[in-house]
Homo-oligomer: A and B are copies of this chain.
Amino acid sequence: MRKFKVTFLPDGKDIEVEENTTLMQAAGKAGVYVNTICGGKGVCGKCRVQVINGKAKADKHAIALLTKEEIDDSYVLACQTRVQDNLEVVIPPESRLEAEQILLTDSFVSEAASVESAHFEPLVQKLYMELQEPSNEDNIADSDRIIRELKRKTKYNAYERSLGCLRELGSKLRNSGWKVTATIARQNNGWKILEIDTGDTNDNNYGLAIDVGTTTVVAQLLHLQSGKVIGGEGTHNLQSNYGEDVITRIAFACGKEQGLQELHKSIVKNINDLITSLTDKHGIDRKDITAIVAAGNTTMSHFLLGLMPCSIRLAPYVPTTHSFPQIKAREIDIDIYPEGILETLPDVASYVGGDIVSGVLACGIAEKPEIKVLIDIGTNGEIALGNNDWIVCCSASAGPAFEGGGVSCGMRAIRGAIQKIEIKNSMVQYRTIQRAKPRGICGSGLIDCIYELVKNGIIDQQGHFNMSTKNDRIIVKDDEPQFIVAFANETESGDDITLKESDITNLIRSKGAVFAAIKSLTDYVGIAFNAIDTFFVAGGFGNYLNISKSISIGLLPDIDPKKIQFVGNSSLIGARMALLSKTAFEHTADIANMMTNIELSTYLPYMDEYIASLFLPHTDKKLFPSVDYWQS
């Protein structure tokens, strides 16, 4: 098999690949992100790249998605084009996954998060000790001497020892003048001594909290001795090169030999890259990272550990496991302290993962009798509702509309995305991320837009354009009415940014799916919306969300907006709490166990709720008393 070098511009990253590798695969291996929605099936047309040097072979049907000008300019679809030569490939801005505003930090600290400081007890600890030398009167074995001192310093009695810790223990103790540091890690029923170092290495102890998201992977570096956050770093999930959503990735993993391995290695590379970046930036030796706690949805956790996820996407949606064993990070080639541990937070169901369990921990839902809700809206809307006594949860298949999929002008919340919109008569005011020229509309902008359109009578409550309205922004193109949000002369591409009636239909379906899920859960436990004490909205989506407009389109229930809180990356917060607190970590297992999953696809009332929700804001007026645009 011949090999060729592919260089990706403007980054200049290059990679050697075998003949007939797709450009998309090559990009993945080079660590270059290329936009894709369809997962490389050649149907979304989002992965346009320009081959400026060398010969590449494009599959025929891919050409249909390109204009004649593009073809003349050597544009191809990365997923449908195979390497046949040494190549230079330019990734144009719209095909690049640029730095989103990934949620690294969290201003939010819930009541429960105080668990962190109250029970500060990291999963891996280093304890410096000055031991008494053995004598005839005190001649216990070396390892017993260590354990005796550990018992004095901690409240724990049971200590296992790794073979590595026992080897050369004798000489380390004697060479150091009996002054050593023990590295201990939480284990199933106690603690395990991982290693004994000579002298005081107490301070060289770091941990990572990681949110393994479908789209982004975020890591926070913590000093485990003090609990301080040293820094955070986020990156796109390299698995995006295999498809945007978990279903596409599972199909890839299970449809191809070594498919799972490829996806597993992608996420491991993500994490190793984040570690490199964080340790370089903060001048830390990566071998001093002793513990990682990862939270992800069920599929991501399976990929992280290299577990077969195939049955997750097939009824009855059974994963390999809901709880994950503690492993050594090096077992999956994560490059930290060789004995360093990796814990993966437990799942509840195939579509309610460790990220939600982590969020429930972070939001303190399981701590007090008040009823709270956590909602994380992405391709799936995951919802948990409950208190210290019970928690129900579900996952609604919202579709990718809020993340920019299935909406012609939709895009992620990255630079140039319209995130806020107001319409007064024919005047449209919008704001883009980083105040760049508009490139499309992200989730929060779409919600604003729908609200403004229905409020202004431009669309009706079913989402149909009211063609009698006089507004020069309403046009009909290809027989479909649409609304121009930004005119061609304002936009980056020089094309109008418009919202079509079919886009609106998709958005109504998405918001309907989420609301129906919330309603199904409250009905299931027999409570009214006003019984909810706090309604937490998690994820990047939430950060730009206009609460009252979200209520007004019927996405969120019509409760006092003060009860609604954005919690940022609650999955990351929970992972950090678990890393810093053995109590919090152990609590995640209890939380996962107490969460009852309602499988909506087989839950009959859900479909009725869904149909009733396909209206702005809802077919049942009583549910949305505060909404101001009811017609008639």
Give chain A's interface residues, CB within 8 Å of chain B. Answer: 134-136, 139-144, 160-163, 166-171, 174, 188-189, 305-311, 315-325, 327, 331-332, 599, 602
**Which residue of the partner chain B has the closest CB to A136?**
B316
CB distance from A340 to the nearest CB of B (A): 15
**Which residue of the partner chain B has the closest CB to A601?**
B136
CB distance from A310 to the nearest CB of B (A): 6
Once the chains are docked, how many angstroms separate the CA of A520 from the CA of B169? 34
The answer to whether A325 touches B161, judged by C-beta atoms less than 8 angstroms apart, is: yes
Q: Contacts A169-B307, A170-B308, A311-B174 given; indicate if A144 touches B322 (C-beta within 8 A).
A: yes
**Which residue of the partner chain B has the closest CB to A326?**
B160
Instruction: Write 7 A-B pairs (CB below 8 A) sorted by A numbering.
Output: A136-B316, A142-B319, A163-B305, A163-B306, A163-B325, A166-B321, A167-B307
The answer to whether B308 touches A169, judged by C-beta atoms less than 8 angstroms apart, is: yes
- Specify which chain B residues have a CB less than 8 angstroms from the CB of A319 in the assembled complex: 141-142
- Specify which chain B residues have a CB less than 8 angstroms from the CB of A163 in the assembled complex: 305-306, 325, 327, 331-332
- Specify which chain B residues have a CB less than 8 angstroms from the CB of A331 in the assembled complex: 163
**Which residue of the partner chain B has the closest CB to A138?**
B316
The answer to whether B189 touches A308, judged by C-beta atoms less than 8 angstroms apart, is: no
Once the chains are docked, how many angstroms separate the CA of A171 from the CA of B309? 10
CB distance from A569 to the nearest CB of B (A): 26
Given contact pairs A136-B316, A170-B318, A189-B189, a sample of 19 additional A-B residue pairs in the complex whose CB atoms are under 8 Å apart: A134-B316, A136-B599, A136-B602, A139-B599, A142-B311, A142-B318, A142-B320, A143-B322, A144-B322, A160-B325, A161-B321, A163-B331, A166-B305, A166-B321, A167-B305, A169-B308, A169-B320, A169-B321, A171-B308
- Specify which chain B residues have a CB less than 8 angstroms from the CB of A144 in the assembled complex: 321-322
- Specify which chain B residues have a CB less than 8 angstroms from the CB of A174 in the assembled complex: 311
**Which residue of B135, B161, B189, B308 contacts A167 across the interface (Cβ within 8 Å)?**
B308
- Specify which chain B residues have a CB less than 8 angstroms from the CB of A332 in the assembled complex: 163
**Which residue of B136, B143, B317 contacts A139 across the interface (Cβ within 8 Å)?**
B317
- Specify which chain B residues have a CB less than 8 angstroms from the CB of A305 in the assembled complex: 163, 166-167
Q: Contacts A160-B188, A308-B169, A308-B170 given; indicate if A320 touches B139 (C-beta within 8 A).
A: no
The answer to whether B316 touches A135, judged by C-beta atoms less than 8 angstroms apart, is: yes
- Specify which chain B residues have a CB less than 8 angstroms from the CB of A143 in the assembled complex: 320-323
- Specify which chain B residues have a CB less than 8 angstroms from the CB of A315 in the assembled complex: 136
- Specify which chain B residues have a CB less than 8 angstroms from the CB of A599 in the assembled complex: 136, 139
- Specify which chain B residues have a CB less than 8 angstroms from the CB of A325 in the assembled complex: 160-163, 166
CB distance from A381 to the nearest CB of B (A): 21
**Which residue of the partner chain B has the closest CB to A162?**
B325
Once the chains are docked, how many angstroms separate the CA of A165 from the CA of B321? 11
Residue from A162, A167, A174 having most chain B Cβ neighbours under 10 A: A167
Once the chains are docked, how many angstroms separate the CA of A602 from the CA of B135? 12
Once the chains are docked, how many angstroms separate the CA of A331 from the CA of B332? 18
**Which residue of the partner chain B has the closest CB to A597?**
B139
- Specify which chain B residues have a CB less than 8 angstroms from the CB of A602 in the assembled complex: 136
The answer to whether B316 touches A139, judged by C-beta atoms less than 8 angstroms apart, is: yes
The answer to whether A141 touches B320, judged by C-beta atoms less than 8 angstroms apart, is: yes
**Which residue of the partner chain B has the closest CB to A311?**
B170
- Specify which chain B residues have a CB less than 8 angstroms from the CB of A327 in the assembled complex: 163
- Specify which chain B residues have a CB less than 8 angstroms from the CB of A168 in the assembled complex: 308
The answer to whether B307 touches A140, judged by C-beta atoms less than 8 angstroms apart, is: no
CB distance from A498 to the nearest CB of B (A): 43
Once the chains are docked, how many angstroms separate the CA of A168 from the CA of B168? 37
CB distance from A614 to the nearest CB of B (A): 26
The answer to whether B170 touches A310, judged by C-beta atoms less than 8 angstroms apart, is: yes
